[in-house]
Amino acid sequence: MTLDGPTPREGAALLGPAGRDILRAIEAARDFLAAHSEEELLERVGDTIEEVPAVEHLSKEVFQASYGGRKAGPPDDILTGLGHFFITEQRRLYLDCTGGHYQMTWGYRHPVLCAALAEAERLGIVWDAHSNIPGATVKSLSYRLVELCNPGVEGLDRCDATGVDGPDRLNTVLLGICTGSVACSTALKIMLARHRERTTEPPVVITLEGNYHGTDIFAQSMRGMWPGLIDGAEFVNLEPNDLPAAEAAFRRYGSRVMGFMCEPVMMNREAILVEGDYMRRIRELCDEADALLAVDEIQTGFWEPGCFHFKRWGITPDLVICGKGMAAGIHPLSAVIYRRPLDVLAQYDSISTNGNAPLAAYVALHSIDMIEGDAERIAAAARATEAMAAAVAEEFPDRVKAVHGSGHLTGLKFHRVEDALRLHQRCVERGVWVRAHAYHEGHSTVLCKFALTAGPRAIEFLGERYRDLLAQG
Ligand SMILES: Cc1ncc(COP(=O)(O)O)c(C=O)c1O
């Protein structure tokens, strides 16, 4: 069958009057990145790449101010990228030390994932479908997530129902959602529904100070936004790793606690690592209070050999939330993996129309397979990142107070906020794309979360840059 439709217009025409020039610049940047080795690119980080034509790029005048709208100066947004490098509209080459916005698991345009996309099209795998008919790749990804959360359980890798039984196993998947915010709100709604089943007392959610579980109003209320808006629930924020405070909170609220929610590495609060001992005790406290334990693995889930950080703790949460890099940035896709007795929501209680996407799920399967196949190299890069950060901290103890995080997710915590901001600014000026947490009282950390493509050379390069720039005072 052939499909009717208008004669397609040239893509350039869709980008406005300068479209042809813009696409030419993207292609030239693509060719530049493809033609150079990692070492050659590292040597040119921060340079203006003359091989890319200078053209007039689109402004962000119509953008919301917080997204760069009405910002003075020429636009300097992304042209294209490859792995952990990107080139901007002002033709500058950057080393991307944050995996895009922490979601580009394999960096930009990884050839294996590009090939998977092309193969999916050749095979006829559809982009999306009605969520009642999710397709083989979505179903397969669901089994894969259950398999990853229940290591060693027979049968799950065969995509059959063997091994999914049992009320204590993480054996149920809600994959019909796109963004992490919807995944977090799903977990919270499950907690709420479960709480309502067992008591009429107003619920208490216990979280960590500096939590970020997305942009849903309930999740935002948990971090102190919209005070007074939600008065049927109480939010208690604890300092991470402070066990006496956790014990006191559970003692105080008892059966009112509907659940505890945290991310393993607080990428929204200076990359603070939540310790295994702490989480093991939290598990016990949740059990004693008959409360649920939800772990937000949106940042950590796919940045770990073997996937999912919670497995290091030797406990099983009631709900595991993942998203961000699950489909390596190709399309938003997130999931909540939970125990069967918690399967209490109806379809329209929690859904994103684009959630059950067969194409994105196909790419996610490839990405997970790559993470497993590359586990040794990923583990080595995690160790190298930690060692690099530790060496920088040791060399500049008057400025660096501590190394935060774990593995790929690291933060250099500074004594003074100005030092963190200065290092961040100098890094970006020199083409090293790191981020800083310095916009909240007491925050003074430079963050890094390399894509999994980054190896020893890129990590060493970042360490050298940190040292050079800190040595400048
Ligand atoms: C820990 C954590 N939870 C939830 C979210 C929300 O995810 P999304 O931006 O996909 O809605 C994020 C996003 O940064 C996150 O880091």
User: 212 CA to middle of ligand 1, Å?
Assistant: 7
Position 154 pLDDT exceeds 80: no
Verify that 137 and 198 share a domain, yes or no: yes
Strands 292-296 and 257-262, sheet pairing: parallel
Distance 184 CA to ligand 1 centre (A): 8
pLDDT tens digit sequence for 262-288: 999 999 999 999 999 999 999 999 999
- In the chain, the percentage of residues whose pLDDT exceeds 90 is 91
Using CA positions, which residue lies closest to atom 12 of ligand 1?
214
Residue 216 near ligand 1, beta carbon < 6 Å: no
Q: What is the pLDDT of residues 80-123, one digit of tens each?
A: 999 999 999 999 999 999 999 999 999 999 999 999 999 999 99
222 and 235 in a single domain? The answer is yes
Q: What is the mean pLDDT of residues 427-451?
A: 96
Q: In angstroms, what is the span from residue 214 Cα to ligand 1's centroid?
A: 5
Mutation test of ligand 1: which of 324, 409, 447 has the most ligand atoms closer than 8 Å to its C-beta? Answer: 324
Looking at the structure, do residues 205 and 341 belong to the same domain, yes or no? yes
263 ligand 1 Cβ < 6 A: yes
The CB of 299 under 6 Å from ligand 1? The reply is: yes
Return the best residue to mutate from 299, 320, 352 for the ligand 1 pocket (most ligand atoms within 8 A of CB). Answer: 299
Is the pLDDT reported for residue 159 higher than 70? Answer: no
Could you tell me the CATH number of the domain that includes residue 225? 3.40.640.10
Which pLDDT belongs to residue 164?
76
> What's the CA-to-centroid distance between 7 and ligand 1, angstroms?
40
- Residue nearest ligand 1's atom 9 by CA: 180
Look up residue 329 and give its DSSP letter.
T
DSSP E strand boundaries for 71-157? 78-82, 85-88, 93-96
Least confident of 61-65, 300-304, 462-466: 61-65
DSSP state of 250: H
Q: Residue 300: CB within 6 Å of ligand 1?
A: no
Q: Is 212 in the pocket of ligand 1 (CB under 6 A)?
A: yes
Residues 130 and 224 in one domain: yes
Dist CA 43 CA 230 (whole Å): 53
The answer to whether the beta carbons of residues 283 and 293 sit under 8 Å apart is yes
The region of weakest confidence among 158-162, 207-211, 392-396, 453-457 is 158-162
Determine, yes or no, domain membership for 239: yes
Domain boundary among 373, 389, 420: 373
HSE (CB half, 13 Å, CA atoms) of 159?
9
Between strands 445-449 and 409-414, the pairing is antiparallel
Q: Is 214 in the pocket of ligand 1 (CB under 6 A)?
A: yes
In a domain, 359, yes or no: yes
Q: Is the CB of 181 under 6 A from ligand 1?
A: yes
**pLDDT tens-place string over residues 128-144:** 999 999 999 999 999 99
Q: Do residue 355 and residue 284 come from a single domain?
A: yes
Query: What domain range is 432 assigned to?
Result: 34-66+86-93+374-473
Please tell me the distance between residue 132's alpha carbon and the centre of ligand 1 in angstroms.
Answer: 26
Cβ–ligand 1 contact at 211 (below 6 Å): no
Nearest CA to ligand 1 atom 7: 180
Give me the pLDDT at residue 126, please. Answer: 98
Based on the fold, state whether residues 275 and 361 are members of the same structural domain: yes
Q: Which of 98, 212, 262, 303 to mutate to test the pocket of ligand 1 (most atoms within 8 A of CB)?
A: 212
Closest atom of ligand 1 to CA, residue 268:
16
> Is residue 40 scored above 90 in pLDDT?
yes
Is the alpha carbon torsion for 327, 329, 333, 337 positive or negative? positive
Question: Higher-confidence residue: 155 or 179?
Answer: 179
In sequence order, which residues have a C-beta less than 8 Å from that of residue 317 and are 6 or more positions away? 170, 283, 293, 294, 295, 310
Measuring from atom 5 of ligand 1, which residue has the nearest CA?
214
pLDDT at residue 238 is higher than 90: yes
Same domain, 171 and 275: yes
> Coil, helix or strand for 352?
coil
Question: CA torsion sign, 46 to 48 to 52 to 57?
Answer: positive
In a domain, 258, yes or no: yes
* Cα of 153 from ligand 1 centre, angstroms: 29
Q: How many domains does the chain have?
A: 2
